[in-house]
A and B are shown apart, each in its own frame.
Chain A
Amino acid sequence: DAGVIQSPRHEVTEMGQEVTLRCKPISGHDYLFWYRQTMMRGLELLIYFNNNVPIDDSGMPEDRFSAKMPNASFSTLKIQPSEPRDSAVYFCASSLSGVGYTFGSGTRLTVV
């Protein structure tokens, strides 16, 4: 298996623009998680899905952030409009039955 695949690896965008981050989980995994990592706050959970259904989105910073999982093999995290304080590394992870979480390589987002 290729592991959890995230795209793009790097994204530089201007403030106010829409940004879409993508994730392909490991085939067969039933949980998908989005985390954000910054030096100040460490790894923060944004949202997670079980069998494509959002379970907990209490970590989503504000309405500018949205996430979808239209099927078991794809998820997106969208920021609209983006702001400089959204600059961070965004990780997607998947797991089978809530154990053995596997992380992707992350998307480094820079908003200028």
Chain B
Amino acid sequence: GESVGLHLPTLSVQEGDNSIINCAYSNSASDYFIWYKQESGKGPQFIIDIRSNMDKRQGQRVTVLLNKTVKHLSLQIAATQPGDSAVYFCAENSKEGTALIFGKGTTLSVSS
């Protein structure tokens, strides 16, 4: 069935390092992907999105890479800061207007 998952439930990095969070998806029909950040006690917050007609998109300190061949999505955070500590979710949908399906999440811990 459809599923969106992450390779690692936790990731610990030092402040200033680059972080890479991975996500595998199984629905080859998915054409829209979003990364969310969720801090404790808050709702998921949009970070960056990408459509299936792209393989890379950059934002401020974040880059999303999409490899449709192996159905893999990654989020790269440059110069990770303590404020980046949170749970990160990837989400997908297969048709504009349908609901997002979320993966289980990766907890990023940044130590200074």
Contacts and interface: CB of A to CB of B under 8 A. Distances in A.
Interface string B34-53: 10100000111110010000
Given A43-B89, A102-B46, 10 more contacts: A31-B97, A42-B105, A43-B44, A93-B43, A97-B96, A98-B98, A99-B32, A99-B96, A100-B49, A103-B44
A98 B104 contact: no
Interface of A: 4, 31, 33, 35, 42-43, 45, 48, 50, 56, 91, 93, 97-106
Given A97-B97, A98-B96, A104 B103 contact: no
A59 to B, nearest CB: 8
Q: Is the interface of A mostly helix, strand, loop or mixed?
A: strand
A30 B89 CA distance: 24
Given A42-B104, A105-B42, A105-B43, A99 B49 contact: yes
Contacts of A45: 99-101
B39 to A, nearest CB: 11
Interface residues of B, number: 21
Contacts of A98: 32, 93, 96-98
B51 to A, nearest CB: 9
The 4 residue pairs across chains A and B that have the minimum distance between CB atoms:
A103-B43, A98-B97, A43-B102, A98-B96
